[in-house]
Structure 1
Amino acid sequence: MPNLADAGDGEDWVSIDYFPIWNCGNFVRTADDNSRNENGNNGLAFDLDPWLQLERVGNTFHFRTSVDGLSWTEMDASPITRDDMAGLPLQVGIRHATYSDDPGYIAFDNFSIER
């Protein structure tokens, strides 16, 4: 059985984000032992791809985007290997943040988890 402490003392996660401000577009981020890394973005700003895909194969994570949900493009920062997550179960979810005091609205569609 995996030991969750094997991931280290702090937060450990990977994400692919819809982040149009500051000319980012779609964004790949990771954290290891509470140290957050901004691994790269596609620079599409508000012309970013609306479909996001995160795939785990063993210890390797693939980050992809799509304009239509059918044809996928691998992000430049992808794939990322995370040996610290070897064999560990993951929590999977979706999130929304405005990063300001301004209220925001978001609608999520077609969210799925496949094994």
Structure 2
Amino acid sequence: MVEQPGSPLLKQLASGKNTAVQVLRELSEPRDGRARVDKVENRLTGHEMAILQLVAQGETSKDIGELVGLGEQTIKNYLVKIFEKTNTRNRAHAVALAAQNGWLLPLVET
């Protein structure tokens, strides 16, 4: 990345007031100023998180579909997206990752 003369980053570097960590943080942020989100959890949509929660509770794709008003195949499509985003291979792997990282709500005994 090449900064233009007079850019805020170059001015900060020239002033000597930035630490290396601050410079790296600034360089890693997208150009539009939004903070980059690297956590997998934050890349999952609300629907995907809800489906993952229901999978963790042992629900089948068919049952999840009935609970949320979607077809079984739609739920399976959501699961494929979850596996892709979390780099997991199957339902058990995705749930294990979610549990290890504290993404799941506590299970309620009925």
Query: Structure 1 length normalisation: TM-score?
Result: 0.21
More strand by share: 1
